[in-house]
Amino acid sequence: MLAVITKPLEDQVARLSAANMDAEKLLQVDPYWILVINLLKHNSLLLLGTLVVIFLASTASSAQRKYRKLLPPGPPGWPIIGNLLQLGPLPHRTLAGLCRQYGPLVYLRIGSVHTVTTDCPQMIKELLFNQDEVFASRPRSTAGKLMAYDDMDVGLAPYGAHWKLMRRVCMEHLLTTRRIASFQQNRQEEAQALVHSVWEECKQGGKVVNVREHLGSFTMNIVTIMLLGKRYFGSESMGAKEAKEFRELIHAAMALHGTFFVGDYLPFLKWFDFQGYQSLFKRMGKQMDDYYSSILEDHRDRLKQFGIGPDDDGPQDFVDVMLKISAEEGKLNDIEMKALMQDMVVGGTDTASFTMEWCMAELIRNPKTLQKAQEELDQLLEDGHTLQESDLPQLRYLKAAVKETFRFHPVGGFLIPHESIRETKIAGYIIPKNSLVLINTHGLGRNPDVWENPLQFMPERFMGDKVELRDAEFRVVPFGSGRRKCPGAPLGQSMLLLGLGRLIHAFNWAPPPPLLPTDINVMEANGMTTPPATPLKALATPRLPYHRY
């Protein structure tokens, strides 16, 4: 009987083994079923133990039942595992559905972890503004432990002295307005390289190009020039193969950071690694560490040869700046420097390139919006000058299109998950200490109580007097808000508008024949950054005179 139930599931596990723990394939297998099969099939003692604990837990005390009534409403869960098996392959969609069913603030128990989620602007304001300090921490995770130096970075570090130090290094030394401005010329050159690389492919009169590839190189180069002092893709790169491998490693790491690793929610199962994730996390953590260690060594060698120049907030690369802080103030050790490098790469590349990819996908799906964006650019650049960062504030329609993209396809579907540092109350409900807080920006952007026609891409909805990418009413929160808000937001916005502006102005874009605009796939994949499920490919045709490329 058991074999009948588990046979289809065993086939999935066989696929997993055949995949030899390959990240892409691993992510196609529903992790919860792997857990269930392993519980059922491979360890009868564990099964027996689990059943006993489930029985004991189901006789929960009346005090516990009373406490449950003080928490926000939510779906009933199973003893021990709570709602773990109900999250589905795209948890942001499942949780948005629960908000429609139970109200703006929903409570779940994922394994042993108290979890609250919302897709409502008022609740988000309460979490990220009115009670920002209470929710300024991050949950610890096995992925963070094994792939992000035990959360020694800034993005995943729990709230406290270490996070404050790392955040200060970011804000006062790395991502300062002057330092970002000092790399403006490099961004300009990368935008030209982006246009040129697409043109090289389609100059003979139109060709289908892999938009994700081009955008990925654009953002990676901008970040690595600031961080390491050299572009990763192109003439100065370490080699096309190595560069591609590195970017794929980052993609896979971000996808894995967004999965629900069962051991984080049921700690007694951590030891068994049923899903095979831990060994994968370790292997990928080691591969990334090798890259960062060699970068650090290269910089140290160079500094030995040429010495540290004066830090005048000029175009010194970030690794040099960190080595200087480390030498002069003794504040940063090697692990912290490598963790910060990783944050800059992870924080600044996929987030921006996937947002651009989503925006391009929607513009191609909606040709009238693409035409409007092109007309705006044609008008601004009619004297023949090339788009500069100083032009960006005037691109009102393009900014509205980017804001609409943030609403409809936010790349941080749950921001980076937050955690409460103490018990508090919201809307009269108790939110326990150490609750996992999933701010559902994906659900927020499609919430029918907030938006008219939420499933239509309409930049016009944001064409007020002044088009601001941030939203004071917390209806669009692409960069989060409060203490943990994105420190790279100004840089991210420049990359988005410059890259998109250049691509839209330089080329006409259409779906690959014979597809129709509406055939462009706009389903997302799961992950900490949510990319389109299939990389965008589109027909590019040059629309400017030859010398502009």
The answer to whether the Cα torsion of 345, 346, 347, 349 is positive or negative is: positive
Contact mark string toward ligand HEM, 436..475, x via CB under 6 A: ----------------------------------------
DSSP one-letter string for 86-139: GS-SSHHHHHHHHHHHH-SEEEEEETTEEEEEE--HHHHHIIIIITTTTT-B--
The answer to whether the Cα torsion of 514, 516, 519, 520 is positive or negative is: positive
- Whole-number minimum distance, CB 158 to ligand HEM, in Å? 10
- Whole-number minimum distance, CB 226 to ligand HEM, in Å? 7
Cα distances from 424 to residues 123, 480, 545, in angstroms, run 13, 21, 61
Q: Using CB under 6 A, which of the segments 95-103, 245-253, 270-278, 407-415 binds ligand HEM? A: 407-415
Nearer to ligand HEM, 34 or 340 (CB): 340
Nearer to ligand HEM, 50 or 494 (CB): 494
Q: Using CB under 6 A, which of the segments 64-72, 192-200, 344-352, 511-519 binds ligand HEM? A: 344-352
Contact 541, 205 (CB under 8 A): yes
Residue 151 binds to ligand HEM (criterion: CB under 6 A): no
Burial of 14 (0-12, 13-18, 19+ CB in 10 A): exposed
Residue 348 binds to ligand HEM (criterion: CB under 6 A): yes
- Whole-number minimum distance, CB 415 to ligand HEM, in Å? 4
Q: Using CB under 6 A, which of the segments 191-199, 246-254, 357-365, 489-497 binds ligand HEM? A: 489-497
CA distance 232 to 23: 23
| Beta strands 436-439 and 113-118, pairing class | parallel
Residue 532 binds to ligand HEM (criterion: CB under 6 A): no
Residue 351 binds to ligand HEM (criterion: CB under 6 A): yes
Number of residues that bind ligand HEM (CB under 6 A): 27
In sequence order, the β-bridge partners of residue 110 are 82, 113
Nearer to ligand HEM, 80 or 495 (CB): 495
- Whole-number minimum distance, CB 188 to ligand HEM, in Å? 17
Residue 491 binds to ligand HEM (criterion: CB under 6 A): yes
Residue 501 binds to ligand HEM (criterion: CB under 6 A): no
Among 9, 252, 296, 416, binds ligand HEM (CB under 6 A): 416
CA distance 446 to 453: 9
CA distance 304 to 88: 53
Residue 124 binds to ligand HEM (criterion: CB under 6 A): no
Among 496, 500, 510, 520, binds ligand HEM (CB under 6 A): 496
Phi and psi (nearest 5°) for 251? -55, -50
Residue 486 binds to ligand HEM (criterion: CB under 6 A): yes
Among 68, 100, 167, 461, binds ligand HEM (CB under 6 A): 167
Residue written as token pair 């289908």: 208
CA distance 497 to 328: 37
Contact 158, 140 (CB under 8 A): yes
- Binding footprint of ligand HEM on the chain (CB under 6 A): 154-155, 167, 170, 223, 343-344, 347-348, 351-352, 355, 411-412, 415-416, 478-480, 484-488, 491-492, 496
